[in-house]
């Protein structure tokens, strides 16, 4: 019998390590080490002993929140304001995004790359600035108008929605679109019949995801003075009324929690609709109707008038800001400050991600729903872990920062921890879901061969999860660098502190410089993260 | 089953072949009845004892048990996880341990040149041979094979079943293989057991059967 084995021996295999990956791994370790060294953890005090008494009073107030009827009515009103901002902001963002998606999609530009790149570049600016930064700038133009909250959400969200919508449209298989074009349909009609139906699930799902995020952003915007729950929180905080602070924190955590759970339920049903005969799945359709009705209600509730946007005062203020902010300040002292605070922001984001990723991996086995039957201890521990992660991400990072600033001195550490705790809530859920969806057969086969649990994990589960976990962490790093600005605005440290100081001093040329630095920093982090993910694929 | 015996399990899809293998390697606990594997009852064992028994039982599925993100060498070395301490298993991921044995095993299935490739870059047939190499490194006493030749061409299928048979019987063990190719079953096994709806409906020495008879058992009519 002849078999392939009788052929000439192939050249001996040699172990080639992927140099690129090792370089990235080394760079990652160095970056985390650098961030740790600069965190102040090993050089001087980080704890704030003077805050201990206040922190004790703050914590003990958690069990007796303010339940006075008058205050509860105020909180309920603030919750509705926050909700109205979120619904209107997200609605406007989806509208803007849908309109802008057409000019930024590859499909619209065909083979003309320059035009496509240019339109993408235009979107990078609104996307690079955090909604809180938009809020800060808009407050200075519009004053305390409800438009501030709505536009601060709509501007960055509209830009990112346009990008994601365009990508979704570009990823749809082109067969039916090309066939319609060949049959003589116009490009618009062809897109309507050939691209939109296939992309609609993704578009709808992403719109709901944006609404979820908008609820969190609306809370945060209040903290910088735009009204709503966050504003109430800031008021109670500065007047040291801890019972009121806790009532507000519970309200905003509940709101974010409902948005998280509700949004996820709707998105899951959009992905896998429950159909009975020809009837539509009632949940997504009902959710869409509810949001549309919500937009109408929010317009009425906030009493938004387009006149405020074009009033003489607004135009005057805009013209003044435009002339005052240009040219940007470039004196050496400011640039030095920008450089050192930008590095602090980078340290913060790196530490936050390292902390969150390590925590998410450590909790992954517990956070994932058990496969098959599990004992009561395992089930209880899993449910508690998932609940804890839900609570961690229900409280926005700046609120964590406010709490941590009781016991920690301002600097990199409180900001990094605040972002880290919040990101752990998000990453923990994502990694847990990755574990649930992972292929169990390799690990099962190893068990059948008598492998120990450690061996099973090392050879069966971990290799398949390493890629997704790293990619998710890198993606959250891009989010975290944007959020460093936010926690900085509230005094935790980083480049946000500089921005808030220059804005309150009405030093507009310096503000322009700081904003440019923030956009550049987020752009660089996006670039590095993108390259690292490409190397890991 | 006696030591040194090679048994083919045949039957239509859903007849209970895979379930039988899973009961034997301990992945499934039977609802009724008794199992004895290598003289012991896997359902009565716990912890280290159970792992020791499982290390003596080698299972090869339809190449789906391999970890795609690992290099071939690690997937083959995974055959030794039943005997390696955790520290050695972890270190081997950085610096492959005992590459000589791995290279020999891969050489016997014709894949020595693919030793350091990522497993998910291989074709289905190559992966199935990697799974065989893992078994060669594990050196089990009882070899359980679930369609071990499904993705292989005829020549390689013969090679694979020959290797499995030698592996099992050479060390005084036994081979139990689920096969859906009647000719392969008759060529490489001493005894054929037929299952239908979870019950044994056929148990005969291989030399007393013909390919046509077996095909009829599968429901093939000519």
Residue pair B58/B135 in contact (Cβ under 8 Å)? The answer is: yes
pLDDT for residue A368: 84
CA distance A59 to A53: 10
Alpha carbon separation from A387 to A143, A381, A404, A426 (Å, rounded):
40, 10, 21, 12
The pairing of beta strand B199-205 with beta strand B142-146: unpaired
pLDDT for residue A1: 46
Residue pair A513/A338 in contact (Cβ under 8 Å)? The answer is: yes
- pLDDT tens for A76-94 read 999 999 999 999 999 999 9
Hey, is the C-beta of B113 within 8 angstroms of any chain A C-beta? yes
pLDDT for residue A355: 94
Omega prior to A50 cis, within 30 of 0: no
Residue A460: list chain B partners with CB under 8 A: 67, 78
Radius of gyration of chain B (CA): 18
Structural domains of chain B in order of their starting residue, each with its CATH number: 1-56+140-222 (3.40.50.300), 67-139 (no CATH)
Residue pair B103/B168 in contact (Cβ under 8 Å)? The answer is: no
Model confidence at A459: pLDDT above 80: yes
Alpha carbon separation from A434 to A364, A447, A535 (Å, rounded):
9, 21, 20
pLDDT for residue A278: 67
Q: Does an H or E element contain A388, and which?
A: helix A376-394
Q: What is the mean pLDDT of residues A202-212?
A: 87
CA triple A285-A288-A292, angle to 5 deg: 140
Residue B90: list chain A partners with CB under 8 A: 454, 458
Hey, is the C-beta of A445 within 8 angstroms of any chain B C-beta? yes
Residue A16: list chain B partners with CB under 8 A: 116
- pLDDT tens for A475-498 read 899 889 988 988 888 777 888 889
Residue pair A422/A430 in contact (Cβ under 8 Å)? The answer is: no
Query: Which B-chain residues 150-189 have CB contacts (< 8 A) with chain A?
Result: 155-156, 158-159
Band (A245; pLDDT cuts 50, 70, 90): confident
Hey, what are A102's tokens?
């057409």
Q: What is the mean pLDDT of residues A388-404?
A: 85
Query: Is the four-CA dihedral A246, A249, A255, A259 of positive or negative sign?
Result: negative
Class of domain A92-273+281-320: mainly alpha
ipTM of the complex: 0.81
CA distance A223 to A85: 14
pLDDT for residue B156: 82
pLDDT tens track, chain B, 222 positions: 777 788 888 877 777 787 888 888 777 777 777 777 777 777 777 777 888 888 888 888 766 678 888 888 898 888 888 888 888 888 888 888 888 888 988 888 888 888 888 888 888 888 888 888 888 888 888 888 888 777 778 888 888 888 888 887 777 788 888 887 778 888 888 888 888 877 887 887 877 777 777 777 766 555
- pLDDT tens for A132-169 read 888 888 888 888 788 888 999 999 999 989 988 888 88
pLDDT for residue B33: 78
Comparing CB atoms, the residue among B57, B68, B115 nearest residue A464 is B68
The number of helices, as runs of H, and strands, as runs of E, in chain B is: 9, 6
Residue B115: list chain A partners with CB under 8 A: 13
pLDDT for residue A184: 80
- Alpha-helical regions (H) of A15-112: 19-37, 51-60, 69-104, 106-109
Hey, is the C-beta of B112 within 8 angstroms of any chain A C-beta? yes
Hey, is the C-beta of A446 within 8 angstroms of any chain B C-beta? yes
- Percentage of chain A lying above the pLDDT 90 cut: 16
- For A536, name the nearest residue in chain B, comparing CA atoms only: B69
- pLDDT tens for A103-124 read 888 777 777 778 778 877 788 7
In a mutational test of the A interface, the residue from B48, B49, B67 whose CB has the highest number of chain A CBs within 10 Å is: B67
Count of Cβ atoms closer than 10 Å to residue A505 Cβ: 10
Write down the domain spans for chain A.
Answer: 26-64+328-537, 92-273+281-320
pLDDT for residue B10: 82
- pLDDT tens for A359-391 read 999 998 888 887 777 788 888 998 899 889 988
pLDDT for residue A80: 92
Residue A447: list chain B partners with CB under 8 A: 27, 54
Q: Which of A339-343, A407-411, B32-36 has the highest mean pLDDT?
A: A339-343
Model confidence at A358: pLDDT above 80: yes
Let me know how long chain B is: 222
Radius of gyration of chain A (CA): 26
pLDDT for residue A276: 63
Contact call for B51 and A452, based on CB within 8 A: yes
- Helix B99-108 with B124-138: angle, nearest 10 deg: 130
Closest CA to B80 of A446, A441, A444: A446
Hey, what are B45's tokens?
């064992």
Q: What is the mean pLDDT of residues A242-265?
A: 86
- For B80, name the nearest residue in chain A, comparing CA atoms only: A451
Band (A353; pLDDT cuts 50, 70, 90): very high
Instruction: Count Cβ atoms within 10 A of the Cβ of residue B111 and give its class: 0-12 exposed, 13-18 middle, 19 or more buried.
Output: buried
Band (A31; pLDDT cuts 50, 70, 90): very high
Half-sphere exposure of B15 (CA within 13 A, CB side): 20
Residue pair A498/A476 in contact (Cβ under 8 Å)? The answer is: no
Contact call for A450 and B74, based on CB within 8 A: no
Q: What is the mean pLDDT of residues A427-452?
A: 85
In a mutational test of the B interface, the residue from A449, A454, A536 whose CB has the highest number of chain B CBs within 10 Å is: A449
Instruction: Count Cβ atoms within 10 A of the Cβ of residue A463 and give its class: 0-12 exposed, 13-18 middle, 19 or more buried.
Output: buried
Query: Which A-chain residues 423-442 have CB contacts (< 8 A) with chain B?
Result: 439, 441-442
Enumerate residues 6+ apart whose C-beta is below 8 A from A347: A34, A35, A38, A39, A412, A416
In a mutational test of the B interface, the residue from A459, A461, A469 whose CB has the highest number of chain B CBs within 10 Å is: A459
Q: Coil, strand or helix: which one is B85?
A: coil
Tell me phi and psi for residue A276, to 5 degrees: -125, 110
- For B81, name the nearest residue in chain A, comparing CA atoms only: A451
Model confidence at A352: pLDDT above 90: yes
Band (A422; pLDDT cuts 50, 70, 90): very high
Contact call for B81 and A444, based on CB within 8 A: no
**Quick one: how far is CA A57 from the chain centroid?**
32
Count of Cβ atoms closer than 10 Å to residue A436 Cβ: 14
Tell me phi and psi for residue B177, to 5 degrees: -125, 130
Hey, is the C-beta of A8 within 8 angstroms of any chain B C-beta? no
* DSSP state, residue B113: G
- pLDDT tens for A286-298 read 888 998 999 999 8
pLDDT for residue A473: 92
- pLDDT tens for A231-243 read 888 888 888 888 8
Which homologous superfamily is A26-64+328-537 in? MetI-like (1.10.3720.10)
Band (A2; pLDDT cuts 50, 70, 90): very low
In total, the C-beta contacts within 8 angstroms joining chain A to chain B are: 116
Model confidence at A430: pLDDT above 70: yes
pLDDT for residue A9: 54
pLDDT for residue A158: 92
Model confidence at A350: pLDDT above 90: yes
**Quick one: how far is CA A485 from the chain centroid?**
13
Hey, is the C-beta of B119 within 8 angstroms of any chain A C-beta? no
Model confidence at A401: pLDDT above 80: yes
Give the residue with greater pLDDT, A282 vs A161. A161
């Amino acid at each position: 019998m002849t078999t392939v084995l009788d052929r000439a021996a192939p050249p001996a295999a040699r172990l080639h390590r992927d140099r690129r990956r090792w370089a990235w791994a080394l760079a990652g370790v160095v970056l985390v080490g650098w961030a740790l060294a600069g965190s102040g953890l090993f050089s001087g005090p980080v704890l704030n002993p003077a805050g201990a008494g206040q922190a004790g009073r703050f914590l003990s107030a958690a069990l007796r929140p303010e339940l006075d009827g008058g205050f509860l009515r105020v909180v309920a009103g603030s919750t509705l304001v926050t909700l109205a901002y979120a619904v209107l902001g997200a609605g406007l963002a989806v509208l803007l995004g849908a309109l802008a998606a057409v000019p930024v999609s590859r499909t619209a530009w065909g083979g003309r790359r320059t035009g496509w790149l240019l339109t993408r570049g235009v979107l990078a600016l609104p996307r690079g600035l955090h909604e809180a930064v938009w809020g800060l700038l808009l407050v200075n133009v519009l004053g305390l108008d409800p438009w501030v909250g709505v536009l601060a959400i709509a501007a960055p969200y509209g830009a990112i929605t346009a990008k994601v919508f365009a990508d979704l449209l570009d990823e749809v298989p082109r067969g039916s679109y090309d066939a319609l074009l060949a049959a003589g349909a116009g490009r618009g009609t062809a897109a309507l019949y050939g691209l939109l139906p296939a992309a609609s699930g993704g578009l709808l799902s992403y719109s709901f995801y944006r609404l979820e995020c908008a609820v969190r952003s609306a809370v945060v915007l209040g903290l910088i003075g735009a009204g709503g729950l966050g504003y109430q929180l800031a008021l109670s905080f500065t007047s040291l009324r801890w019972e009121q602070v806790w009532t507000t924190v519970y309200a905003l955590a509940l709101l974010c929690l409902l948005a998280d759970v509700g949004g996820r339920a709707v998105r899951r049903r959009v992905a896998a609709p429950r159909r009975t005969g020809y009837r539509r799945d009632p949940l997504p359709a009902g959710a869409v109707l509810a949001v549309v009705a919500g937009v109408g209600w929010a317009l009425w509730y906030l009493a938004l008038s387009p006149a405020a946007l074009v009033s003489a005062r607004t135009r005057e203020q805009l013209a003044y800001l435009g002339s005052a902010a240009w040219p940007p300040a470039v004196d050496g002292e400011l640039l030095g400050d920008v450089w050192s605070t930008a590095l602090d922001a980078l340290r913060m984001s790196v530490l936050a991600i390292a902390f969150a990723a390590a925590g998410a991996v450590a909790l992954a086995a517990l956070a994932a729903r058990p496969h098959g039957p599990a004992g009561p201890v395992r089930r209880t521990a899993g449910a508690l872990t998932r609940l804890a992660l839900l609570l961690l991400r229900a409280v926005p990072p700046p609120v964590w920062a406010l709490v941590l600033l009781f016991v920690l001195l301002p600097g990199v550490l409180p900001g990094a921890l605040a972002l880290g705790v919040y990101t752990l809530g998000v990453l923990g859920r994502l990694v847990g879901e990755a574990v649930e969806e992972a292929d169990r057969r390799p690990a099962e086969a190893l068990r059948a061969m008598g492998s120990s649990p450690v061996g099973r994990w090392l050879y069966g589960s971990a290799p398949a999860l390493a890629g997704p976990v790293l990619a998710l962490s890198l993606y959250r790093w891009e989010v975290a660098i944007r959020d460093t600005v936010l926690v900085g605005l509230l005094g935790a440290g980083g480049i946000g502190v500089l921005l808030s100081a220059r804005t309150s001093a009405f030093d507009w040329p310096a503000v322009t410089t700081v904003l440019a630095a923030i956009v550049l920093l987020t752009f660089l982090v996006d670039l590095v993260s993108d390259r690292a993910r490409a190397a890991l694929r | 089953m006696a030591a040194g015996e090679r048994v083919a399990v045949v039957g239509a899809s859903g007849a209970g072949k895979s379930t039988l293998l899973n009961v034997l390697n301990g992945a499934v606990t039977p609802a009724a009845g008794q199992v004895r594997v290598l003289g012991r009852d896997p359902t009565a064992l716990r912890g280290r004892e159970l792992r020791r028994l499982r290390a003596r039982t080698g299972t090869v599925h339809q190449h789906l048990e391999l970890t795609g993100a690992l290099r071939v060498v690690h997937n083959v070395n995974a055959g030794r996880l039943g005997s390696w301490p955790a520290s050695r298993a972890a270190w081997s991921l950085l610096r492959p341990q005992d590459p000589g044995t791995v290279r020999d095993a891969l050489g016997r299935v014709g894949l020595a040149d693919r030793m350091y490739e990522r497993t998910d870059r291989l074709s289905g047939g190559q992966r199935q041979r990697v799974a065989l190499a893992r078994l060669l490194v594990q050196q089990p006493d009882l070899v359980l094979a679930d369609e071990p030749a499904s993705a292989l061409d005829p020549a390689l299928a013969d090679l694979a079943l020959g290797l499995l048979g030698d592996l099992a019987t050479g060390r005084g063990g036994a081979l139990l293989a689920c096969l859906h190719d009647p000719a392969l079953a008759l060529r490489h096994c001493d005894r054929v057991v037929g299952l239908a709806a979870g019950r044994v409906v056929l148990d005969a020495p291989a030399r007393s059967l013909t390919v046509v008879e077996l095909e009829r058992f599968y429901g093939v009519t000519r």
